[in-house]
């Protein structure tokens, strides 16, 4: 009897993840729950708009973001240029729309680096324990003891300024919190009955980690990644602003603000709109992350 | 009992040692990864091969990498943090010179952040799920999500360019620079010592905006944490007991619930104070504030390796110390951990 219940529990998670029909249904249920709450609904909608904007930027942007028009510099917001024009006469709204592609690229690459690395370090450290755990957690602690912007700055200074290096630097600083979380989660399941059961059935450590532990860590890791995207956006913009991230003439929002700074006292729109875009996206990720936590991870409440 | 505490102390010391060692490895790697030739940086582009060889030998640039690391640690242990390539001064002197400006800024910011954040957090917890709570949570969320350099600029546009209420960039107006002798490096204290009230008020006027914007980011964090600490307490049975036995709501909140979260609050404020360094990097650039944050970014932009390594090391040490301090505070003030 006991063995029977163990087996169903062991299979429950992977089955629901591998069966496309039920995972689609679960995803729809989560989305419905997110939209039901005004704040997480707002977050989800803003991020969907960001995705769409990045996808169809050429269709949405009223002007070419890089066309210089020296007869039309520093125009305040008007009917032809809703967000005004910059010091080279480029349309700010079009630049913000194209800039969404850069933001999305940064977010995507950072999550693709940070999620697997954090999961790998955290689950193996929690599962194996011992000196391996100690070494891994010491390394994690050293990275965690820095404010992320200062560590990213140092890495970018070492690697050289530029968008690619900024992404690598942010990735290098963003994995430790995820590793910590994955380890803590792993410690709570490590001695669970279904893990012992699959070990007794002869499953290898690798198989147990991949098939039984990683899926269980996924919800909280996803929540954590979503929440950390808010700070990734801010760090990337900060690097761009300091001149160490994306370089002009790329329409990265932080870099746009850096250039607008020279003209801001008389031309507020050069900094106000790109910064508003950063605030909106970062806010949306925070709200979506909070909502996802409520929807996916009831045990944290 | 005694040997137990000695073992615990030993383990703690071991952890600190390993963490510091890891920190040194990290800063060393960052320094070595930098695309700057340390020899060329000293002798310049025109020097001939013989000079290059000589200098390389003297600073150990041609040694195997582990020996270079050993040299680096050895120099640090002898208090030699290297010479700034840009200013030609020992890096540590440069840092001591810029630090007071940042400490002045951060101290005012934390006074603002904690002075407002703690009461707001308590209010939000007491008024849970009422309109006041929602407004406070919205404000903290904005503080958490805003790019601080942008808020700084918007603040400058509104309060300096349009309303002309506060001073612009820098620590004082240009025509006051150098009027007060540089005794402590803290401009407010120096101007008081000199008895120059004009400079003092001008400095306050320049400090208000950057400090309150920097403080807003820590306010968001402090409010959020205070609210959740308070909610933890208010949900416990002893609060109900206190209320049932007839204690006033005000007394219950301040004498019971708040008394129990004071240690946690001190910890949070200490960590937030250190966290201001991060915001300071950006805010100092926006406000042309000649402090540590600007020093670090300027050196990164020009690739001054020795200065960058030392700054990163210093930040790491500050944060390790803060974390230790908060652990120690817990142990001292929380009887349960004894």
List, for residues A91-144, the tens digit of each pLDDT value.
999 999 999 999 999 999 999 999 999 999 999 999 998 889 988 988 898 888
The arithmetic mean of pLDDT across residues B92-103, rounded, is 90
Contact state of A272 with B300 under an 8 Å Cβ cutoff: no
Contact state of A287 with B34 under an 8 Å Cβ cutoff: no
- Hey, is the C-beta of B145 within 8 angstroms of any chain A C-beta? yes
Cis peptide before A249 (omega within 30 of 0): yes
Contact between residue A78 and residue A90 where contact means Cβ atoms under 8 Å apart: no
Q: How many angstroms separate the CA of residue A205 from the nearest CA in chain B?
A: 29
For residue A265, which residues of chain B lie inside 8 Å, CB to CB?
156-157, 160-161
Q: How far is CA B324 from CA A147, B158, B250, B329, in A?
A: 16, 41, 34, 9
- Hey, is the C-beta of A46 within 8 angstroms of any chain B C-beta? no
Contact between residue A253 and residue A237 where contact means Cβ atoms under 8 Å apart: yes
- Hey, is the C-beta of A129 within 8 angstroms of any chain B C-beta? no
- For B163-176, how does the pLDDT look when each residue is reduced to its tens digit (9 = 90+)? 988 877 888 777 77
Q: Is the pLDDT of residue A298 over 60?
A: no
Q: Is the pLDDT of residue A68 over 90?
A: no
Q: Is the pLDDT of residue A1 over 60?
A: no
ipTM score of the complex?
0.85
Q: A85: which strand partners?
A: A91
Residues 305-334, chain B, touching A (beta carbon < 8 A):
308, 312, 315-316, 319-320, 323
Spatial separation of the C-alpha atoms in residues B43 and B36, rounded to whole Å: 13
pLDDT bucket at B112, cuts 50 / 70 / 90: very high
**Coil/strand/helix, residue A86:** coil
Mutation choice for A interface testing from B17, B135, B146, B153 by most A CBs within 10 A: B153
Q: A132-137: long-range contacts at Cβ-Cβ below 8 A with a sequence spacing of 24 or more?
A: A133/A183, A136/A179, A136/A183, A137/A180, A137/A183
Other beta carbons less than 10 A from residue A70's beta carbon: 8
Tokens of A250: 């790329």
Q: Is the pLDDT of residue B335 over 90?
A: no
Q: A91: which strand partners?
A: A85
Q: Which residue of B has its CA nearest to A267?
A: B157
Contact state of A157 with B141 under an 8 Å Cβ cutoff: no
- Hey, is the C-beta of B159 within 8 angstroms of any chain A C-beta? no
Q: Give ∠ CA B99-B101-B105 in degrees, rounded to 5.
A: 115
What lies within 8 Å, CB to CB, of B296 at 6+ separation is: A150, A153, B281, B308, B311
For residue B297, which residues of chain A lie inside 8 Å, CB to CB?
153, 242
Q: How many angstroms separate the CA of residue B266 from the nearest CA in chain A?
A: 19
Look over chain A and give the mean of its residue pLDDT values, rounded to a whole number: 86
The span from the first CA to the last CA of chain A, in angstroms, equals 32
Look over chain B and give the mean of its residue pLDDT values, rounded to a whole number: 84
Contact state of A266 with B147 under an 8 Å Cβ cutoff: no
The arithmetic mean of pLDDT across residues B224-246, rounded, is 85
For residue B14, which residues of chain A lie inside 8 Å, CB to CB?
none
Q: How far is CA A280 from CA A81, A151, A257, A273, B295, in A?
A: 21, 25, 15, 10, 30
Contact state of B315 with A150 under an 8 Å Cβ cutoff: yes
- Hey, is the C-beta of B286 within 8 angstroms of any chain A C-beta? yes
Spatial separation of the C-alpha atoms in residues A157 and B297, rounded to whole Å: 9
Q: B90: which strand partners?
A: B83
Q: Which residue of A has its CA nearest to B287?
A: A261
- For A277-289, how does the pLDDT look when each residue is reduced to its tens digit (9 = 90+)? 999 999 999 999 8
pLDDT at A75: 86
Residue A164 burial by CB count (10 A; 0-12/13-18/19+): exposed, middle or buried? exposed
For residue A279, which residues of chain B lie inside 8 Å, CB to CB?
142, 145-147, 150
Q: Is the pLDDT of residue A17 over 60?
A: no
Homologous superfamily in CATH for domain B91-337: MetI-like (1.10.3720.10)
pLDDT at A23: 75
pLDDT at A299: 54
- Hey, is the C-beta of B297 within 8 angstroms of any chain A C-beta? yes
pLDDT at B205: 87
Q: How far is CA A52 from CA A56, A246, B11, B49, in A?
A: 6, 22, 53, 58
For residue B23, which residues of chain A lie inside 8 Å, CB to CB?
142, 145
The torsion of the CA quartet B20, B23, B25, B31, rounded to 10 degrees, works out to -140
| Phi/psi of residue B83, nearest 5 degrees | -110, 135
pLDDT bucket at A14, cuts 50 / 70 / 90: very low
- Hey, is the C-beta of A159 within 8 angstroms of any chain B C-beta? yes
Question: Which residue ranges make up each domain of chain B?
Answer: 2-77, 91-337
The partner residue sitting opposite A150, judged by closest CB among B26, B150, B281, is: B281
The arithmetic mean of pLDDT across residues A188-199, rounded, is 85
Contact between residue A148 and residue B277 where contact means Cβ atoms under 8 Å apart: no
Q: What is the percent of chain A where pLDDT is above 90? A: 41
pLDDT at A20: 59
């Amino acid at each position: 009897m006991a063995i029977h219940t163990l087996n169903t529990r062991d299979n429950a998670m992977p089955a629901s993840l591998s069966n496309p029909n039920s995972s689609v249904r679960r995803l729809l249920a989560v989305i419905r729950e997110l939209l039901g709450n005004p704040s997480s609904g707002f977050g989800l909608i803003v991020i969907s708009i960001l995705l769409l904007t990045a996808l169809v930027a050429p269709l949405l942007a009223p002007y070419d973001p890089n066309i210089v028009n020296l007869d039309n510099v520093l125009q305040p917001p008007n009917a032809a240029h809703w967000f005004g024009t910059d010091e080279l006469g480029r349309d700010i709204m079009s630049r913000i729309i194209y800039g969404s592609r850069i933001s999305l690229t940064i977010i995507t690459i950072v999550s693709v680096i940070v999620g697997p690395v954090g999961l790998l370090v955290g689950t193996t450290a929690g599962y194996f324990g011992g000196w391996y755990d100690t070494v891994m957690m010491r390394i994690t602690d050293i990275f965690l003891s820095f404010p992320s912007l200062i560590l990213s700055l140092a890495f970018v200074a070492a690697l050289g300024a530029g968008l690619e290096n900024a992404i690598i630097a942010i990735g290098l600083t963003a994995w430790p919190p995820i590793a910590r979380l994955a380890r803590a989660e792993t410690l709570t399941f490590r001695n669970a009955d279904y893990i012992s059961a699959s070990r007794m059935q002869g499953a290898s450590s690798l198989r147990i980690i991949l098939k039984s532990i990683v899926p269980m860590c996924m919800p909280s890791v996803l929540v954590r990644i979503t929440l950390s995207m808010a700070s990734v956006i801010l760090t990337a913009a900060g690097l761009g602003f300091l001149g160490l991230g994306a370089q002009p003439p790329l329409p990265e929002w932080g870099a746009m603000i850096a250039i607008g700074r020279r003209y801001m006292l008389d031309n507020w729109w050069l900094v106000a709109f790109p910064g508003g875009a950063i605030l909106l996206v970062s806010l949306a990720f925070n709200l979506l992350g909070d909502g996802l936590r409520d929807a996916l991870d009831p045990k944290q409440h | 009992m005694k040997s137990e505490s000695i073992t615990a102390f030993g383990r703690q010391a071991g952890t600190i040692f390993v963490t510091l060692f890891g920190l040194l490895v990290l800063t060393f790697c960052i320094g070595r990864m930098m695309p700057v030739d340390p020899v060329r940086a000293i002798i310049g582009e025109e020097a001939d091969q013989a000079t290059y060889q000589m200098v390389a030998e003297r600073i150990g640039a041609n040694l195997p990498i582990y020996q270079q690391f050993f040299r680096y640690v050895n120099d640090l242990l002898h208090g030699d943090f290297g010479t700034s390539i840009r200013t030609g001064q020992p890096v540590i002197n440069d840092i001591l010179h810029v630090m007071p400006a940042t400490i002045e800024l951060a101290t005012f910011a934390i006074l603002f952040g904690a002075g407002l954040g703690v009461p707001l957090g308590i209010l939000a917890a007491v008024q849970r799920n009422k309109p006041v709570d929602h407004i406070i949570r919205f404000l903290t969320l904005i503080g958490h999500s805003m790019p601080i350099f942008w808020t700084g600029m918007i603040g400058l546009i509104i309060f300096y360019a349009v309303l002309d209420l506060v001073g612009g960039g820098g620590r004082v107006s240009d025509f006051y620079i150098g009027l007060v002798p540089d005794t402590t490096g803290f401009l407010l204290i120096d101007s008081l010592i000199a008895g120059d009230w004009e400079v003092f008020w001008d400095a306050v006027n320049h400090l208000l905006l950057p400090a309150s914007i920097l403080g807003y980011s820590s306010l968001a964090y402090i409010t959020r944490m205070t609210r959740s600490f308070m909610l933890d307490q208010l949900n416990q049975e002893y609060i109900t007991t206190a209320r049932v036995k007839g204690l006033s709501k005000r007394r219950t909140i301040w004498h019971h619930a708040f008394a129990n979260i004071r240690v946690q609050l001190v910890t949070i404020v200490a960590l937030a104070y250190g966290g201001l360094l991060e915001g300071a990097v950006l805010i100092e650039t926006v406000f042309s504030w000649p402090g540590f944050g600007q020093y670090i970014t300027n050196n990164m932009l020009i690739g001054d390796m020795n200065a960058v390594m030392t700054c990163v090391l210093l930040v790491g040490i500050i944060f390790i110390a803060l974390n230790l301090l908060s652990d120690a505070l817990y142990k001292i003030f929380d009887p349960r951990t004894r």
